[in-house]
């Protein structure tokens, strides 16, 4: 400021033709200074002399500790950290440096991000999100696990009712299986099931859960935990959850968790066939043409965190889990099997060599019995043994069933025996064919099972050719009062013998 005032005074006196010697005496400065200020045609600018500071060599660390979301240290914390590194100055230079850093940082958006792209086969990202949705006619909390290949952007997802360690490990394996291979690296978040300690402030190595390390070794990949509280590190897998909610979750209802998973995989399959807005390529095509050859092969077995539980299958081929009973194929009756429950809803059954057999859906409630009739096909009876049910089945199956029962009433001691044997022939002949044979047998008055089988052996092609003349069926069907109507049995609840 002083130099500026002196320059202005010299310039004004010089313009008024005052001699240099007089200017020198009047302003109290040397003649050389007056001459220098006269030659200076523009007003002088003030510049502060820059002196080296003791914090200069620590500036990189200060910027990191101040701006990184992992640290965000205040001035006193940075001062303490610098003293550990040998800093001998006071705290004031640190505050001056922080003031400038904060001023510069305001000019940059907090959302500013550098996008990182990885080569094919290098990385997959894994995460999950929680949703409320209608499953089995009620609102449930459901967890959506998702994985994405960072290069091709091919995605996979599955749903669970729980978020425990076993569900996480199973989901990672299932999703890698859906994607068709293993990447060299799996980028993950920091749940306790995967990461025990990831504190960047202590500059220590990340500590992973021992089971997650066993899983990684089993798969042949390497875990890489993202920065705490910094979801953009795994932004490729974070962004799809919004699309899943808008395009798949909202407005849909699912009959069961298995139904939800089946529809979810169909949805993701269709999504992988659409152009990705960042890569401008179709993920499935990118994957098939480039990335698949870089993936590691899938293991032949699944990593299981816990030992399988054992059960002895009952004589009637049920496995008891909790208080409920679930049928299994009858060939396993009286044998020992193993099982586990994953995702909070799925029962997986294995043999004693831990080979997978089948899956069942865990049912709600207590003391229920859930039977799949197909599990009993190998020993199922060919026809019911209940007499009322035999009559109902016979009339409902054959057009001439009621006529046959009227015709044999009083003719045999147990007409239902012959009706049951005719029903057993359904294993060999279609109902329409047996109906023609039945009409022919009534017409020829050959009503016992032996005579009917003889007709089949001798006259089968003649009977089914539609050229056979049947004269007495109308007469038989018009007979009233020969037997009591079978409608009596329709309202009776009868169990199979």
Residue 60 — very low, low, confident or very high, per pLDDT cuts 50/70/90? confident
If one compares 297 and 88, the residue with the highest pLDDT of the two is 297
Same domain assignment for residues 129 and 250: yes
Pairing outcome for strands 185-188 and 222-225: parallel
Same domain assignment for residues 363 and 387: no
Lowest mean pLDDT of 115-119, 170-174, 267-271, name the range. Answer: 115-119
**In this structure, what token pair is assigned to residue 496?**
């199979």
CATH classification of the domain holding 219: 3.30.420.10
If one compares 202 and 350, the residue with the highest pLDDT of the two is 350
Is 49 domain-assigned?
A: no
Domain final residue pick, 347, 379, 411 = 379
Parent domain of 168: 123-294
Domain final residue pick, 330, 357, 379 = 379
Contacts of 391 (CB under 8 A, 6+ apart): 405, 416, 419, 486, 489
Is 113 domain-assigned?
A: no
How confident is the model over 290-302, as a mean pLDDT?
A: 95
Is 88 domain-assigned?
A: yes
Is 283 domain-assigned?
A: yes
Is 327 domain-assigned?
A: yes
Q: How many domains does the chain have?
A: 5
Q: List, as own/partner pairs, every contact residues 441-447 make where C-beta atoms lie below 8 angstroms and the sequence separation is at least 24, other chains included.
A: 441/404, 442/400, 442/403, 442/404, 442/407, 442/470, 442/472, 442/473, 442/476, 443/470, 443/471, 443/472, 443/473, 447/404, 447/407, 447/408, 447/411, 447/412, 447/418
pLDDT of the residue at 232: 52
Residue 111 — very low, low, confident or very high, per pLDDT cuts 50/70/90? low
Is 44 domain-assigned?
A: no
Same domain assignment for residues 171 and 147: yes
Q: What CA–CA distance (Å, rounded) separates 401 from 431?
A: 11
pLDDT at 186 over 70: yes
What tens digit of pLDDT does each residue of 131-140 get? 999 999 999 9
What tens digit of pLDDT does each residue of 436-489 get? 999 999 999 999 999 999 999 988 888 887 655 555 444 444 434 333 344 433
Lowest mean pLDDT of 97-101, 209-213, 263-267, name the range. Answer: 97-101
Is 347 domain-assigned?
A: yes
What tens digit of pLDDT does each residue of 323-336 get? 999 999 999 999 99
Contacts of 385 (CB under 8 A, 6+ apart): 420, 496, 497
Residue 490 — very low, low, confident or very high, per pLDDT cuts 50/70/90? very low
Same domain assignment for residues 91 and 214: no
pLDDT at 347 over 50: yes
Same domain assignment for residues 352 and 413: no
Is 168 domain-assigned?
A: yes
**In this structure, what token pair is assigned to residue 368?**
């229920």
Mean pLDDT over all residues of the chain? 85
Same domain assignment for residues 393 and 373: no
Residue 107 — very low, low, confident or very high, per pLDDT cuts 50/70/90? low
The strand pairing partners of 336, in sequence order, are 312
pLDDT of the residue at 428: 84
What tens digit of pLDDT does each residue of 70-80 get? 677 888 889 98
Same domain assignment for residues 133 and 272: yes
The answer to whether 370 and 326 have CB atoms below 8 angstroms apart is yes
Same domain assignment for residues 276 and 318: no
Q: Kindly state the DSSP code that residue 182 receives in the 8-state scheme.
A: B
**In this structure, what token pair is assigned to residue 394?**
């016979």
**In this structure, what token pair is assigned to residue 170?**
């199973």
Q: What is the share, in percent, of the chain residues with pLDDT greater than 90?
A: 51
Same domain assignment for residues 265 and 195: yes
Same domain assignment for residues 466 and 365: no
């Amino acid at each position: 400021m002083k130099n500026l005032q002196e320059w202005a005074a010299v310039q004004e006196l010089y313009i008024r033709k005052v001699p240099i010697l007089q200017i020198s005496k009047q302003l109290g400065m040397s003649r050389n200074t007056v001459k220098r200020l006269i030659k200076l045609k523009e007003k002088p600018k003030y510049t502060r002399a820059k002196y080296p500071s003791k914090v200069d060599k620590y500036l990189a660390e200060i910027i990191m500790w101040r701006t990184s979301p992992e640290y965000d240290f205040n001035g006193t914390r940075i001062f303490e950290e610098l003293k550990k590194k040998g800093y001998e100055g006071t705290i004031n230079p640190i505050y001056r440096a922080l003031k400038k850093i904060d001023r510069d940082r305001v000019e940059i958006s907090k959302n500013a991000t550098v996008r990182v792209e990885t080569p094919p086969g290098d990385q997959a990202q894994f995460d999950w999100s929680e949703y409320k949705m209608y499953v089995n006619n009620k609102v449930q909390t459901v967890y959506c696990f998702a994985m994405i290949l960072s290069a091709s952007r091919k995605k996979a997802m599955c749903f669970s009712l729980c978020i425990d360690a076993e569900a996480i490990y199973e989901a990672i394996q299932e999703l890698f299986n859906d994607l068709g291979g293993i990447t060299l690296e799996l980028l993950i978040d920091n749940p306790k099931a995967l990461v025990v300690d990831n504190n960047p402030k202590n500059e220590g190595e990340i500590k992973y859960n021992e089971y997650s390390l066993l899983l990684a070794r089993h798969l042949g990949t390497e875990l890489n935990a993202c920065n705490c509280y910094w979801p953009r590190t795994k932004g490729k897998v974070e962004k799809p959850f919004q699309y899943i909610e808008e395009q798949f979750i909202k407005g849909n209802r699912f009959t069961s968790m298995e139904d939800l998973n089946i529809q979810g995989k169909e949805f993701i399959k269709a999504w992988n066939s659409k152009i990705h807005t960042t890569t401008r390529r179709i993920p499935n095509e990118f994957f098939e043409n480039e990335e698949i050859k870089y993936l590691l092969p899938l293991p032949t077995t699944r990593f299981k965190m816990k030992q399988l539980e054992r059960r002895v299958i009952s004589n009637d081929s049920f496995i008891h889990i909790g208080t409920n009973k679930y049928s299994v194929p009858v060939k396993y009756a009286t044998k020992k099997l193993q099982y586990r429950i994953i995702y909070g809803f799925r029962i997986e059954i294995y043999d004693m060599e831990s080979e997978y057999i089948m899956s069942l859906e865990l049912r709600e409630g207590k003391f229920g019995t859930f039977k799949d009739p197909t599990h009993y096909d190998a020993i199922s009876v060919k026809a019911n043994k209940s007499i009322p049910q035999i009559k109902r089945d016979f009339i409902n199956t054959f057009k001439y069933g009621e006529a046959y029962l009227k015709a044999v009433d009083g003719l045999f001691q147990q007409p239902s025996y012959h009706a049951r044997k005719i029903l057993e022939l359904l294993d060999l002949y279609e109902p329409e064919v047996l109906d023609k044979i039945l009409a022919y047998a009534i017409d020829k008055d050959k009503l016992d099972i032996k005579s009917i089988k003889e007709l089949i052996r001798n006259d089968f092609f003649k009977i089914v050719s539609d050229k056979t003349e049947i004269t007495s069926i109308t007469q038989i069907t018009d007979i009233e009062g020969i037997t009591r109507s079978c409608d009596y049995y329709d309202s009776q609840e009868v169990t199979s013998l």
